[in-house]
Amino acid sequence: MNKKSRWSFLSNGYLLLILLFIYLPIAYIVLFSFNDGKSMTKFAGFSLRWYEAMFKDRTMLESIRTTVVVAVIATAVSTVVGTITAIGLSKARPLIRTAILEINNLPVMNPDIVTAIGMMLLFIVPGVSLSMTTLILAHITFCIPYVILTIMPKLRQLDDNVAEAALDLGANPWQALIKVILPQIYPAILSGALIAFSMSFDDFVISFFTAGVGVSNISMYVYSMKRYNPSVNALSTLIVVVVTLILVLTNLIPVIKDKRTKKEEQRL
Amino acid sequence: MKSFFRMTYPYILWIGLFIVAPMIMILLYALTKDGGNRTLIFQFTFDNFTRFFSDPTFMRVLWTSLRIAFLTTVFCILIGYPAALFIANLSERAQTMMVLLLTLPMWINMLLKTYAWRGILMNFDFESEVKVFIGMVYDFLPYMIIQIHTSIAKMDRELLTAAYDLGANRWKSFLKVTLPLSVPGIISGITLVFLPAVSSFVIPKLLGGGDYVLIGNLIETFFITTGNWNFGSAISLIMALIIIASMWLTKKLDRNTQED
Amino acid sequence: MRKLIEFRNIVKSFDGQVVLKGVNLNINENEFVTLLGPSGCGKTTLLRILGGFLEQDEGTVIFDGQCIDKVPPYKREINTVFQKYALFPHMNVYENIAFGLRIKKMGNDIIQQKVNRMLSLVNLEGYGKRNVTQLSGGQQQRVAIARALVNEPNVLLLDEPLGALDLKLRKEMQRELKRIQQEVGITFIFVTHDQEEALTMSDKIVVMNAGEIEQIGTPLEIYNEPVNAYVARFIGESNIVTGIVKSEDCVRIDDRDYETREYRFKEGEPVDVLIRPEDFDIVKPKDGILRGVVKSAVFKGVHYELMVETKTGVSKTVKMNVVTQHDMQNTATGEKISANDFYVDSDDLENKEMTDQDFISIANAQAWDDNDRDISLTRVTHNIEKKPGVYQITFATDKKTEITVKVYVVHPEYVEDPRHNIGISALDFFITPDEIKESMAISTDLKTWASAEAWNLQDDSPVEITDVNFDFDPATVTEGSYDITFATQGREYKVETTQRLEEGDKVGLSFGPDDLHLMRKAVHEI
């Protein structure tokens, strides 16, 4: 082996090790979701019994439902509010913009647990009892900053002249927004929504402190499990499959679109 | 263009209510006496803070949290830097693929992955701290790799060619060109690893068992179990201050390296 | 021609910096007007105020007899072609051009008619379905023009639209723009910093500088009769010298009187005198009004561009003593060391803090080891005093390898020329043949070795030494003494001629009274 190929052999080997490390627990979950036994250390043979068990486990199904409902509402609200705010901020004076963005950054920078107890105090002190509603409000609050942070850079990249060109050609500011600005930042809005959804879907700490009695999402369910429950592996495996599909699709669609337009152009 | 600014009014209201007000709540609780029954009474005091700093048990917890967060950060850099460098040397397509492969697990619920580690680590007879450490490095490593990779990938490749041209060998040009230019990546990696590691409380709870207590667990105990919200708020405030201080420090460090 | 636009006393500042200092300007119907000036002169700001994208701090803009200060951009009958085109990236060519018409809610068939007409006006038939991001710069440019013109505005604003194009395409688009303007017959207001663009396309040029208008006129007026040196330098090549008006038809330049045909100036008034390079005639030296030597000749395709020096600058000659000096060797350590004797001026010792580093560089002291690696000189000891005399200086390394050389402290010798207000000084120096042979930039090194400097006598500001004359061959120089002359720039004229001349040729320059254009001294210089 010459020096160069030995080098790439080494580096590829190292990267492979890293990937193995990162995918080890995921592979472990998937494997043991098909375990016939109850153990988390011994594989007793292939079976689908934990998938069956999962669909019979009421509390678990309820936590899945809660997770999805909260994530969908939080994503919808935070995407709309975040987009509107980001556009407004991009036209604001720099001083005001920086001030608002600094406060906006607080939930991102602050440890989750601080945000969480802050929200809890906010609700309980004036006598609002924790519930599904407080959970959703908390989720919206920590999702909006991520939406804004995703959209702002894209807005900044926009050529100011493009919006001006729309005004120049007779569009009023509202028409310029709908016809020119939104279509250009559309991908950023989508990825902002995706991040918001996954933040909400995966959240544990903030939910733990702001959900009412009897309201529990997947993370809280796993955390509060008294005994080891292999159905969690089955659930995790399903989540892994869904996440992988979504990621592959979101990464492939632009590539496919690109190819198609290129083909169309060649035909022209 | 002033009309556009009006679009921010709803959110300004929102952050006032849901971001600023909670912070004030924490501050109020931290600075007042325990009124019993979790209510807020306006008797201001620093007792909550003096109690924390005078009790060796709490100081030990703080020290453990800082130590494990520091070790996690160092190992993430040591393991992550070569990985980021190797990825940056791959072809463009392979790079995109690797970044995608690294991001994918980040989208999967951290609790579920930690839960899997609990199963894996059951096979071994490690100390609690080692288990927690493995869990933390696992959870934060991808962030570090991606941050460093971004800063290396952004670097102009011609700089290396120039360094070779000026007589630097591979190792020298790494030390003199690539490494200094990747410092911003390392810094933002540190903020993404150290800060959440200090405050983490799920990983120690799930992997360390009940006997391994970090500052996050302490806060949880005082809010959920003990019900002393004043003291719990004081601890969170102390943690937030430590984090703000270390952020400020890293930012300053970053600026200094960029000036050099 | 009817007045269409009127700027009245427009003032605008950003963050306390005044960008427009009260601009007054009228623009007529169907004119091709160019706002010309360097970046930062305020031309784009003026255009953006007219477009409605910026609000002036003071003053009024009148459009077609009406004040439009409060009219938003989307209600102005003005369209803009932006610097980087600002095409809508999410729309194809057709939709980009149709944008304004769709906003006005025109019928599809009318839109199609109009867009197609525009596409053919800008020579882009058949490009409607193309993605704008995949067009070339020139094509994007055409789309931007079509997108603006389809709205049938009264005025088209163009903000440096050709800046991003390469030279050939730029020339093509210049012609194209002029053609389009003549065809549609509306007012074009064109912003550029390119004087050639302004000269070829405009009916009227507005030369701007630092937020003010310097001159308004046709291209010919601006070229032939610039109001001041600023405009003259900005438009075309120029020679500008200062002179004093002696009488109605006579100006004095460099102590000689010349006949002129300009009668606008008072006797005794200082003026800038412009002579365009093409207005000189090259004649035999004895027939010339001015005589000089060709300093450089550059072939420019059709003509040669010469720099002719008619008068030398201030000069100073010094002796270069080439001596062979033996390296000192420290046999114990294998280190070698070398240094030269040197001259130093007592004034420098008095006024400047001369550091050890300064002495090391003047003496060209260096040390190296067996492997030719440089070793730093860590100790410098000397007995130099500030009065003239011969002293000694010793340079040494850490390992005590050392060398001692002579230092001649001398009174400074200046050459001062009060007429040019320039002083120059240089010192004799010692040097080895090897150092001369190793020099990669001999003129620069000679200046350093001789500590040659020139300065303005009034304010002490440095003046460039442009000429270093010597008659030895650096590659074969041997021991001995050589004269080196350092000189500042003399009077040089740029001359355009079709004659083939070479560096060193002696020529005469001739010109007539019409070729001298007198200008009022500019208040502000760039």
Across the range C60-64, mean pLDDT stands at: 93
Indicate if C482 and C394 belong to the same structural domain.
Answer: yes
Cβ separation A111–B243 shorter than 8 A: yes
Question: What DSSP designation does B225 have?
Answer: I
pLDDT digits (tens, 9 = 90+) for C343-398: 888 888 887 778 888 888 888 888 888 888 888 888 898 888 888 889 999 998 88
CATH of the domain at C167: 3.40.50.300
DSSP state of C159: E
- Is residue C225 a contact partner of residue C519, using CB atoms and an 8 Å limit? no
Same domain for C327 and C251: no
Classify residue B60: in a domain, yes or no: no
Contact at 8 Å (CB) between C48 and C73? Answer: no
Q: Is residue B214's pLDDT more than 70?
A: yes
Residues C25 and C128 in one domain: yes
Q: Kindly report the CATH number assigned to the domain that includes residue C526.
A: 2.40.50
How many domains are there within chain C?
Answer: 3
Alpha-carbon dihedral sign for residues B128, B133, B138, B140: positive
| Stretch 69-88 of chain C: residues touching chain A, C-beta under 8 Å | 72-75, 78-80, 82-84, 86-88
* pTM of the full structure: 0.75
What is the DSSP code string of B131-154? HHHHHHHHHHHHHHHHHHHHHHHH
Closest CB to B22 among A32, A119, A235: A119
What pLDDT does C525 receive? Answer: 45
Phi/psi for C155 (5° steps) reads: -135, 140
Q: Is B36 exposed, middle or buried (0-12, 13-18, 19+ CB in 10 A)?
A: exposed
Q: Do B199 and A244 touch (CB under 8 A)?
A: no
Q: Is the pLDDT of residue C154 over 70?
A: yes
Structural contact between residues C24 and C8, judged by C-beta atoms closer than 8 angstroms = yes
- Over residues C174-190, mean pLDDT: 89
In whole angstroms, what is the distance from residue C366 CA to residue C378 CA? 11
Please give the average per-residue pLDDT across B122-144, as a whole number: 92
Residue B37 inside a domain? The answer is: no
- Cβ contact (<8 Å) for C131 and A261? yes
Q: β-strand C342-345 against C335-338: which pairing, if any? A: unpaired
Q: What is the DSSP string of C72-90?
A: -GGGSSEEEEBTTB---TT
> Does residue C497 sit within a domain?
no
Please give the Cα distance from B90 to B92 (Å, whole number): 6
**A30 contact residues in B (CB cutoff 8 A):** none
Residues C422 and C443 reside in one and the same domain: yes
Contact B8 A92 (CB under 8 A): yes
Whether residues A167 and C90 touch (CB distance < 8 A) is answered with no
CA distance C468 to C448: 12
Residue C130 CA neighbour count, 13 Å, CB half: 17
Domain range annotation of chain A:
51-225
Tell me if A84 and B7 make a contact (CB, 8 A cut-off).
yes
| Nearest in space to A199 (alpha carbons), one of A258, A148, A128, A268 | A148
**What gap in Å lies between CA A51 and CA A62, rounded to an integer?**
16
By Cβ distance, the residue of A164, A180, A183 closest to C53 is: A164
Rounded CA-CA distance B19/B15 in Å is 5
C137 class by beta-carbon count within 10 Å (0-12 exposed, 13-18 middle, 19+ buried): middle
Residue C57 confidence (pLDDT) above 90: yes
Distance CA B216, CA B208 (A): 13
Q: How far is CA C324 from CA C131, C321, C341, C427, C470, in A?
A: 73, 10, 11, 20, 20
Q: Is the pLDDT of residue C526 over 50?
A: no
Residues C71 and C44 in one domain: yes
Of the two residues C331 and A172, the one the predictor is more confident about is: A172
Strand partners, C510: C281
Task: Please check the confidence at residue C285 and state whether its pLDDT lies above 50.
Answer: yes
The pLDDT value recorded for residue C488 is 85
The pLDDT assigned to B260 comes to: 46
What would you report as the CA-atom Rg of chain B, rounded to the nearest whole angstrom? 23
**How far is residue C46's CA from residue C244's CA, in Å, rounded to a whole number?**
37
Structure tokens at A112: 């989750």
Enclosing domain of residue C261: 237-280+511-526
**C192 domain residue, yes or no:** yes
What is the Cα–Cα distance from B177 to C207, expressed in whole angstroms?
Answer: 47
Is B51 among the domain residues?
Answer: no
Name the nearest CA neighbour of C474 among C507, C514, C442: C442
What strand order describes the sheet that includes C155-159?
Answer: C78-81, C155-159, C187-192, C32-36, C204-209, C212-217
* Amino acid, res. B209: G
Phi, psi of C128 (to 5 degrees): -50, -40
Do C470 and C484 lie in one domain? The reply is yes
Residue range(s) defining the domain that contains residue B251: 72-259
- Number of domains comprising chain B: 1
Contact B77, B194 (CB under 8 A): no
Q: Are residues C457 and C526 in the same domain?
A: no
- Tell me if B36 is assigned to some domain: no
CATH number at residue C430: 2.60.40.10
CATH classification of the domain holding B140: 1.10.3720.10
Same domain, C356 and C455: yes
Average pLDDT over residues A11-35: 93
Residues C362 and C335 in one domain: yes
SS3 C76: coil
> Domain spanning A51-225 has what CATH number?
1.10.3720.10
DSSP code for C245? E
Arithmetic mean of pLDDT, C423-446: 87
Q: What is the mean pLDDT of chain C?
A: 87
CA distance C188 to C203: 10
Q: Do A164 and C134 touch (CB under 8 A)?
A: no
Are the beta carbons of B144 and B192 closer than 8 angstroms?
yes
List the single residue in C with minimal CA-CA distance to A158: C86
What residues in C contact A261, CB-CB < 8 Å? 131
Same domain, C256 and C329: no
Are C437 and C464 in the same domain?
A: yes
Q: How far is CA B69 from the centre of its chain?
A: 8
Residues in chain A: 268
**Which spans in chain A are helix H?**
3-33, 49-56, 58-90, 94-109, 112-124, 132-157, 160-168, 173-176, 182-202, 205-210, 218-224, 231-267
How far apart, in whole angstroms, are the C-alpha atoms of residue C227 and residue C221? 10
Cβ count within 10 A of residue A69: 14
- Tens-digit pLDDT profile for residues A192-234: 999 999 999 999 999 999 998 889 999 999 888 877 788 888 9
The answer to whether A138 and A199 have CB atoms below 8 angstroms apart is no
The mean per-residue pLDDT over the stretch B117-146 comes to 92
Over residues C226-270, the pLDDT tens digits come to 988 889 988 888 888 888 888 878 888 877 888 888 777 888 888
- By the 8 A CB rule, do B140 and B198 touch? no
Residue with tokens 């605008």: C12
SS3 of C523, please?
coil
A-interface mutation test, from B31, B78, B81, B86, most A Cβ less than 10 A away? B86
